[in-house]
A = this chain, B = another copy of it.
Amino acid sequence: MAFYSKYKSILTIIFALSVAIVVLFLVRQNIDQRPIVKEPVQYIMHYHKNDMEELKRKASELKSCQSKLVERELELSHNIQRVKELEQNLREALTNRAEYILKQPLIFAITPTYKRWTQKADLTQLCQTLSHISNLRWIVVEDSEQKTPLVTNLLSHCPVNSTHLNFRTSQSLLNIVNTTDKKPQVKKPRGIEQRNTALKWLRRQYRHGEVKGVVYFADDDNTYDLRVFDEMRPTKMVSVWPVGLAGGLKFEGPICVGDSVKQWYAYWARDRKFQIDFAGFAVNIDIILNTKALILTTSKPGYIENDFLEQLIEFYDLEPKANSCQSVLVWHTRTEKPQMFYEEQLNKMGHPSNPGIEV
């Protein structure tokens, strides 16, 4: 007890401090459980938990969104490709085809025509033939004082691009017919001044080098295989080929070896440099535009084509076509003059045909 009394104060302090330490320990132990200390952490944790779950959900959504986006981008690029292809197809089917056609040399088909019973039938037939040919201008020259309604109407209904001209054959060229039945007709043929009318029109319309094209004399009673137009289109100077049923022969025209004309197969006027029918040659338009060449009204019968070509080229300028002159792609046909036995008789009998019906 002497020890206690002596160190009473110190022991008391030690005791108090011990109590304080125990209390402190207890208090400290209690911190994590004490609501006031735990609350903010849990709150943070809770707050973050909701937030994070939301964010985690969004992150996984992002993943699926991104993979969908890749899918869609792929699909889109396929579709854009498909649209491009389809548009290309359409463009090729429409514009490019037209462009391709417009790049081809233009064919100027010159057709003299005159009033007769079979005129409308013949022009109808020729319209059907020419409407198969792309990039062609049909120059129809009527032998008449005025353009006739029949031809005007026919051309307006024909899908071929056309130019309608007219020139009445001069009186001096009419009735110069030297024929006897069953003999070759060696009269001054029709169409000379009409063809010249077309040549003059071409020279008024174009200057040399202004248009890529070829000039062909296409009579309205001839028959044309469509391939003859493909053959003539690339003509550089003057291209030639045989003509069926011409010159009193099975065919008339050049005899060729490869790319050269060697001689002619003809009977009539064998001294001609160019023994060929109008249906058997085509001329590059620049050769026409370079000269003032015309069909001559002074030519001897049968020399008309020859005398025209002599103004344009030399013999060696000729370009054989139609399988080196081995194929007949054009026929010098004529439509028979119909026999109108009964037309007049019916008129006399008082049963005239309806004049409103155009034939």
Contact = CB atoms under 8 A, between A and B. Distances in A.
A333 B336 contact: yes
Contacts of A21: 20
A190 interface: no
A323 to B, nearest CB: 9
Contacts of A328: 120, 357-359
Contacts of A223: 121-122, 124-125
Interface stretch (A127-135, A232-240, A303-311): A127-135
A147 interface: no
Given A20-B16, A335-B335, A244 B343 contact: no
B79 A250 contact: no
B15 A17 contact: no
A206 interface: no
Contacts of A177: none
Contacts of A257: none
Contacts of A244: 120-121, 359
Contact of A343 (B40, B225, B250, B333): B250
Contacts of A267: 341-342, 345-346
A32 to B, nearest CB: 9
Interface string A175-195: 000000001100000000000
User: This chain: how many copies in the complex?
Assistant: 2
A247 B242 CA distance: 36
Nearest to A346: B267
Nearest to A227: B157
A217 interface: no
A87 B86 CA distance: 7
A121 B333 contact: yes
Interface in A58-101: 58-59, 61-62, 65-66, 68-69, 72-73, 75-76, 79-80, 82-83, 86-87, 89-90, 93
Contacts of A351: 265
Interface stretch (A44-52, A281-289, A290-298, A313-321): A44-52
Contacts of A312: none
A174 interface: no
Interface stretch (A22-30, A104-112, A137-145, A162-170): A22-30
19 contacts: A12-B12, A28-B31, A41-B44, A55-B59, A79-B79, A86-B90, A117-B245, A117-B250, A118-B333, A120-B244, A121-B333, A125-B129, A242-B357, A248-B342, A249-B342, A249-B353, A326-B357, A328-B358, A331-B359
